[in-house]
Amino acid sequence: MVPSKPLISVVLPVWNGERYLVESIDSILSQTFRSFELIVVDDGSTDRSLEIIRSYKDPRVRVFVRDHQGLAPTLDFGIQRARARWIARQDADDVSHPQRLALQMQTLEENPEAILCYCDVELVGESAYFPSIERFPHTMGLLAVQLCYQCPIAHSSVIFDRGAYREVGGYSVAEQYAEDFGLWGRLVRYGDFVSLPKKLVKFRLHGESITMRARGDHNEMSRGIAIRHCGEFFRIEVVRSIRAYRTLMREAGSHRYIDWLWLLFLCVPRLKWKSTELYSWLAGQSVRRLVGR
């Protein structure tokens, strides 16, 4: 029996996701944390996804069906219908560890100022590169810098405050293919994030995933968002934001070291967030880039 007002609303959008959908839904319904609802939104699937979704009779599962509109509108549709304060994300091809929700809620209770909790993930996929373990920054300082050139948080690894989501405007349709990246940048300026350094999600990459299918569009959109973050976090104008982004993106040996020194001494001090983890990362990058000259 699902409580009338659960503590967590898990939002799971589906578009032609029949291949991995059962494993994904089952991983949520098997959570040791019990006070949740699972909001499944079918975004106009043409395969067996809706049939699979409707086969579940668990009262915690709430099913919504709509014409295909894309990920950002579908996520916002689900969040608007959530009854809980906390929104957990799950994609139709990812799998959550049985204790994911319990451990993330415990972390949020221990950090009452936080508006978002994210965890480490295990990457799984169909190429020889996988599986591998992906670890993310664990402090706001390093998180902010990494948001200036990449998306350092897996979408399916987060639980965030619905009120904060509304305050920053939610997902942006204009940021299609990188809507999560843009949202993290808005939320991190609104409140604190807390990291849970445990691998609680299997994040799947495969040829049918949105990430892989739209890689070119994703990269182009992500570049624009990252440059915007450079301007917002380092508090610099557009031209310097582009320079900061290009400096962070370049591999060792393929950049001018003077640009790296400019970033270290003129941009990093302007960051709102500082941490030992950030300075350790910057030191390592400095050595790596110097050796690679």
**Can you give the pLDDT at residue 217?**
72
CB burial class (10 A; 0-12, 13-18, 19+) of residue 14? buried
Give Cα 173 distance to the centre of its chain. Answer: 16
Assessment of whether the complete model's pTM goes beyond 0.85 = yes
CATH class for domain 8-216?
A: alpha beta
Amino acid of residue 147 = L
CA angle 251, 254, 260 (to 5 degrees): 75
Strand ranges, E, within 74-191:
86-89, 95-96, 114-125, 132-134, 158-161
The structural domains of the chain, with segments of one domain joined by +, span 8-216, 235-291
Q: How far apart are the C-alpha atoms of 12 and 75, rounded to whole Å?
A: 8
Q: What is the pLDDT of residues 78-134, one digit of tens each?
A: 999 999 999 999 999 999 999 999 999 999 999 999 999 999 999 887 654 444 555
Q: How far apart are the C-alpha atoms of 168 and 188, rounded to whole Å?
A: 10
pLDDT tens, N- to C-terminus, the chain (293 residues): 556 799 999 999 999 999 999 999 999 999 999 999 999 999 999 999 999 999 999 999 999 999 999 999 999 999 999 999 999 999 999 999 999 999 999 999 999 999 999 999 998 876 544 445 556 899 999 999 999 999 999 999 999 999 999 999 999 999 999 999 999 999 999 999 999 999 999 999 856 655 555 566 779 999 999 999 999 999 999 999 999 999 999 854 556 899 999 999 999 999 999 999 999 999 999 998 888 75
